[in-house]
Amino acid sequence: MASTRNRPPNRRARLAMSGALTAIGIAHFVAPKGFEAIIPEELPAKRALVYGSGVAEVALGVALAVRPTRAVGWATVGLLAAVFPANINMAVRNIQVPGAPAVPQWALWARLPMQGAMAWAALAATRPTTD
């Protein structure tokens, strides 16, 4: 049995993450108010933060598809860490996105660990392989 360390990253998982990041990034421009709603009130320039994170998500989504380097994996981890306070804020304050179906507060809390899983997946998908 081959070592998992020597197996190439799962292409389908990498492309799924690429598609998700790209789609969510585009959503930042299509419906910015929903993303603004979850940003902690202490942070200024909410629209600029939404657009900036949208650009980063689209760029990293594309990079995961076309050039999945280790740097792209770590940049994705950095992005997930940067937006994590907004996700925590959403759960703590039970913020509902305007125009979207209501989400139970327990589900907002339950999705927080998924950020860690996504970070691990980004690193796993960009792990160099050995021959």
* pLDDT single digits (tens) 45-93: 999 999 999 999 999 999 999 988 899 999 999 999 999 999 999 999 9
pLDDT of residue 59: 98
> CA 15 to CA 18: how far, in whole Å?
5
Q: What percent of the chain has pLDDT over 70?
A: 91
Report residue 14 CA to chain centroid gap: 13
The Cα 15–Cα 107 span in angstroms is 25
> Is there a contact between 112 and 91 (Cβ–Cβ < 8 Å)?
yes
Helix (H, G, I), strand (E, B) or coil at 85: helix
**Which tokens is 69 given?**
């380097």
pLDDT of residue 1: 47
Given a cut of 60, whether residue 7 has pLDDT beyond it is no
The C-alpha R_g of the chain, in whole angstroms, comes to 16
**Looking at residue 24, what is its pLDDT?**
96
- % of the chain surpassing 90 pLDDT: 76
Tell me the one-letter amino acid at 42: E
DSSP code for 111:
T
**pTM of the entire predicted model:** 0.85
